[in-house]
A and B are shown apart, each in its own frame.
Chain A
Amino acid sequence: MQWLEYLPLIAKGALSTVELALVALVLALSLGLITALAKLSGKPWLILPAQCYTTLIRGIPDLALMLLIFYTIQIGVNQFTDKLSLGRFEIDPFVAGVMTLGFIYGAYFAETFRGAFLAIDRGQAEAANAYGLSSRQTFQKVLLPQLVRFALPGISNNWQVLVKATALVSIIGLSDLVMAAQEAGRSTHNTLMFMVLAGAVYFCLSGFSSLLLYWIKNRSAGWVREAEL
């Protein structure tokens, strides 16, 4: 049972995949919310960059973007440090991976949030206004709680796609689950088994997040009476 020795390596890889996905999710959610607000602001100088961001990012494959952003950031930093004649500064691959994934998926989340904002009944904001709530209060107490409900299906989809996209970071040299499985496979000459194992981990991750998202959905929208079919 030589392959048992490699299980801790796989577990470590799986942990780093989850960590990467979660941190990237937080970044993407905030970026998406800001972009959605910019798109709905009605000010052309905010709408234009937001529109360019979502269109460009969603039109280009994530792997191509990852290579573009990852290598360009490193070269930019190198040029910067050379100019100031500082020592060489290597960007931490984890930070670079999180930033790249967050930046890419922010564009997808922006569209989800935009759709959710548009789905909220206009009367809600009007009623809040009529009650004398400030625009900040309206956003925090009235719009945001309902936003969660409308955005949740889109967020669930994007999250599942994001988890799968983290498999790409091994191509830019980050040690995640796929890279751990590849290393273990190379040392034991049994790539197939370790790759299937990695696939099974993704499978379980996805099943687990579906359950969790189902629970969140029931908490955030349990009071909504859906049409009976």
Chain B
Amino acid sequence: MIDLFQTYWQSFLWTDGQQWSGVIVTLMLLIVSTIGGFTLSIPLALGRVSSSRSLSAVIWLYTYTFRTTPLYVQLLIIYSGLYSLAFIQDTPVLNSFFRDAYCCTLFAFVLNECAYMTEILVGSIRASSRGEVEAGRAFGLSATVLNLKVILPSALRRALPAYSNEVIFMLHGTTLAFTATVPDILKVARDVNAETYATFTTYGLASLLYLMISFCIIVSFNRAENRWLKYLKPRKAKQAIDHSVPLIKEGSLV
């Protein structure tokens, strides 16, 4: 095991000599697909909760399709299916885009991740408190300001626990990248396995790396929740009493 690690640790972590590989590629895939999906999900979620029935239906169809079909099938359609279309081969930009493994993989991942994140955000926006939105309208806020300053900040906070699950699922999803020849951790493990036949060690090592990334994600989301969801935590009983006692003494409650 130590021999194997000494020979291949560089390819497992960042480079196999010619190109990026291993952990750094997995992290890159994860970060780009999460941030891309997140950015696109905000306008889509606002469209989905808007009063326009047709807009909402179109976005629902997109999210439903991408959430009910396997990511592997989506990747196969984008990576090996779309390139057979004549107009893609004839347009130079599309041609080079769909021939590149990274572009196809990231495109599929962003589309998939965006569908899940949109639905999470929609659920969270729908859970907005009625009074909050009403108060915003009463203050004469325009729809844009209301969305940006009142609805989204609290909806995004409430969505935080669901996002942490989603990011972990996306990490699990990035393992599919190797089927499109992107050298992520699992691809390195497969190559090393083909060279050494140390199956348990190579895949075990890859699993360990994924486990460590998962734990890092969990810890950072816990920290984020501690910061942004602090107001939802149950207050410690003693503190609550300490705060309420002076109020009662002053008689302001009565």
Is B211's CB under 8 angstroms from A196's CB? no
Interface check A171, CB cutoff 8 A: yes
A49: B residues at CB distance < 8 A: none
Q: Which of A72, A164, A185, A203 has a CB less than 8 Å from the CB of B65? A: A203
Say how far B194's CB is from chain A's closest CB, in angstroms: 11
Q: Measured between alpha carbons, how far is A165 from B176 in the docked complex, in Å?
A: 11
Interface check B210, CB cutoff 8 A: yes
Q: Measured between alpha carbons, how far is A72 from B206 in the docked complex, in Å?
A: 14
A182: B residues at CB distance < 8 A: 76
Is A62's CB under 8 angstroms from B77's CB? no
Residues of A116-175 at the interface with B, using a CB-CB cut-off of 8 Å, are 160, 164-168, 170-171
Q: Which of B73, B85, B204 has a CB less than 8 Å from the CB of A202? A: B73
Q: Measured between alpha carbons, how far is A206 from B63 in the docked complex, in Å?
A: 13
Interface check A75, CB cutoff 8 A: yes
Binds B, one of A23-31, A63-71, A217-225: A63-71
Q: Is the interface of A mostly helix, strand, loop or mixed?
A: helix
B211: A residues at CB distance < 8 A: 56, 59-60
Q: Which of B82, B84, B179, B214 has a CB less than 8 Å from the CB of A189? A: B84
Interface check A192, CB cutoff 8 A: yes
Closest chain B residue, CB of each to CB of A186: B80
Interface check A61, CB cutoff 8 A: yes
Is B68's CB under 8 angstroms from A202's CB? yes
Residues of A43-68 at the interface with B, using a CB-CB cut-off of 8 Å, are 56, 59-65, 67-68
- Nearest 8 CB-CB pairs, A to B? A192-B81, A167-B70, A206-B68, A61-B172, A68-B203, A59-B214, A63-B175, A164-B70
Q: Measured between alpha carbons, how far is A149 from B174 in the docked complex, in Å?
A: 34
Say how far A93's CB is from chain B's closest CB, in angstroms: 16
A-B contact count (CB 8 A): 107
A189: B residues at CB distance < 8 A: 84
A60: B residues at CB distance < 8 A: 207, 210-211, 214
Question: A75-B200, A195-B80 are known contacts; what are 19 more A-B pairs with Cβ within 8 Å?
Answer: A62-B172, A64-B186, A64-B203, A65-B207, A67-B190, A68-B203, A68-B207, A71-B199, A72-B203, A164-B71, A165-B70, A167-B72, A168-B176, A178-B72, A191-B80, A191-B84, A195-B77, A203-B68, A203-B69
Binary interface encoding of chain A residues 180-222 relative to chain B, with 1 for a CB under 8 A from any of its CBs, else 0: 0110010001111001101100110011000000000000000
- 7 residue pairs of the A-B complex, CB under 8 angstroms, read A60-B210, A60-B214, A61-B173, A61-B186, A72-B199, A166-B70, A168-B72
The chain B residues found within 8 Å of chain A, CB to CB, are 65, 68-74, 76-77, 80-82, 84-85, 168, 171-176, 179, 185-186, 189-190, 193, 199-200, 203-204, 206-207, 210-211, 214-215
A67: B residues at CB distance < 8 A: 186, 189-190, 203
Is B68's CB under 8 angstroms from A195's CB? no
Say how far A192's CB is from chain B's closest CB, in angstroms: 4
Task: Report if A190-B69 is in contact (Cβ < 8 Å); known contacts: A63-B175, A64-B203.
Answer: no
B203: A residues at CB distance < 8 A: 64, 67-68, 71-72
B214: A residues at CB distance < 8 A: 59-60
Say how far A41's CB is from chain B's closest CB, in angstroms: 25
Task: Report if A196-B81 is in contact (Cβ < 8 Å); known contacts: A62-B172, A63-B175, A72-B200.
Answer: yes
A170: B residues at CB distance < 8 A: 72
Q: Measured between alpha carbons, how far is A166 from B76 in the docked complex, in Å?
A: 15
Q: Measured between alpha carbons, how far is A199 from B70 in the docked complex, in Å?
A: 8
Say how far B167's CB is from chain A's closest CB, in angstroms: 13
Q: Measured between alpha carbons, how far is A165 from B215 in the docked complex, in Å?
A: 22
Q: Measured between alpha carbons, how far is A196 from B76 in the docked complex, in Å?
A: 9
Say how far B217's CB is from chain A's closest CB, in angstroms: 10
Q: Measured between alpha carbons, how far is A170 from B70 in the docked complex, in Å?
A: 12
B175: A residues at CB distance < 8 A: 61-64
Q: Measured between alpha carbons, how far is A16 from B165 in the docked complex, in Å?
A: 30
Closest chain B residue, CB of each to CB of A67: B203
Is A63's CB under 8 angstroms from B68's CB? no
Q: Which of A56, A68, A164, A191 has a CB less than 8 Å from the CB of B69? A: A164
Is A68's CB under 8 angstroms from B70's CB? no
